[in-house]
Every structure is written in C-alpha cells, then in structure tokens.
Amino acid sequence: MPVCLAQKPATAGTPDAALVSDFEAKVKQYLDFRQQQVGPPQKPTNNPGDIVAKQHERGNKLRVARAGAKQGEIFTPQIAAYFRRQIAASLAGAHGKEIRSSLAHAEPVKMELQINQSYPSNQPLQSTPPTLLLNLPNLPDGLEYRLLDRELVLRDTEGNVVVDYVPNALPESMK
C-alpha cells in the first residue's frame, strides 16, 4: 500500500503493544456498553430533524448511563503517555514539517472539554493530519479521534459524545 507510514506500529510483545491491546480492550468494552444502551446505528432519512432528534436521544441515554465517567478511564495515564509519544514521534519524523503545516491550517477550535459533553454542531471540526492518525491505534466504526486545540478527543460519533480525551496531546510548541 503506497501510504507513507511515518513510524512503525508497536511491535508485538513490547510494552507499547501491551498498552495498545489494553486501549483496544477498553474501546471494545465501551462499544459493547454503547450497543446495549442505544442499539444499532441510525439509518439515512430525508428528515434532518429526525436525525438530530435521534442523535440527541442517543447522546442523552449515554450521558445518563455514564453519569460517573471521568477523564482517564480509557486514556489511562500510561495509555495517554503512549499517545503523546506517538504524536511527538510523528511530529519529529520525516513528515513532521508537513504535519505541523497542516495543524497550523487546521482552524484550531478552543472550547472547554468535559467528559460526556456533545460537540456543538455549529463549531467547525479541526482537521486531523492523516500521518498523525496513521500512527495511532485504529478505531472501530462509531468512534473517532478529534483534535481540539492541543487535546486529543475520543468521540462517539453515533451519540456525538466525548468519551475521553488525552490532555496536552500535542506538545506545548504547537500552541
């Protein structure tokens, strides 16, 4: 595949591979929980009001079910440190200059982050450089990474809910 991987993924049997496995297990656990709470994904419709209403309904169910959720439950300190290392390695790698340029043009969004909050649909999405995404563990459908200023958010796309985030995922120099 002619895609430029900036860095090799974690090698099996290493401490980093164990962290990635741990992260993937937590993600799967979340998705199983989500499936129980809100059911299967929405289907396309002509009525945008229905889409928005169902998204709110799903988000609210998740917020109630995860009322006690805290930052760091998925991005534990060790996993968060792994993500910061991966991002720093991407920025220091062969494509670091291009990644920095893309980040500078990404229309950074500044807002106070809270677990379970919904991402306001009237705010633009900060684009995430693809080389950076290539160096992070893959996510299953229904979840995505989003940069918000310097934080890396794990977002539930079905319910539009912030599941967890890595504080200061981008280095201070990117501010």
Partner 1 sequence: MRTCYSVLVYLCICVFSVTAEAQQLGVKLPLHSGSVRFAVIGDSGTGNKEQYEVAQELDRYRQAVKFDFVIMLGDNIYGGHSASDFKRKFEEPYKALLEAGVKFYASLGNHDDPNIERLYKPFNMNGQRYYTFKRGNVQFYALDSTYMDTQQLTWLEQNLRSSNALWKICYFHHPLYNDGKMHGPDLDLRNQLTPLLKSYGVNVVFSGHEHAYERIKPQNGIYYFIQGDSGKLERHDFHRRDEMQTSFDRDRTFMLVEIDGDNLYFQTVARSGETVDAGVLTRQSGPARAAAGR
Contacting positions for partner 1 (CB under 8 A): 1-4, 41-49, 51-52, 55, 95, 97-99, 101-102, 105, 107, 121-122, 124-134, 138-139, 144-146, 157-158, 160
> Would you say 57 or 107 has its CB closer to partner 1?
107
For residue 2 the two structure tokens come to: 């002619």
> Would you say 78 or 107 has its CB closer to partner 1?
107
How many other C-beta atoms lie within 10 A of the C-beta of residue 100?
Answer: 15
The residue written with tokens 């693809």 in the block is: 130
Cα distance between residue 114 and residue 117, in whole Å: 6
For residue 145 the two structure tokens come to: 């990474």
> Would you say 113 or 139 has its CB closer to partner 1?
139
**Vertex 89: Cα angle to 86 and 93 (nearest 5):** 140
Q: How far is the CB of 44 from partner 1 (least distance, A)?
A: 5
Q: Which residues contact 30 (CB under 8 A, 6 or more apart)?
A: 74, 143, 156, 163
For residue 89 the two structure tokens come to: 């390695």
Q: How far is the CB of 10 from partner 1 (least distance, A)?
A: 14
Q: How far is the CB of 4 from partner 1 (least distance, A)?
A: 6
> Would you say 22 or 144 has its CB closer to partner 1?
144
> Would you say 84 or 146 has its CB closer to partner 1?
146
Q: How far is the CB of 151 from partner 1 (least distance, A)?
A: 16
Q: How far is the CB of 119 from partner 1 (least distance, A)?
A: 8
58-85: b or e for each residue (b if 16 or more CB lie within 10 Å)? bbebbbeebeebebeebbeeebbebbbe
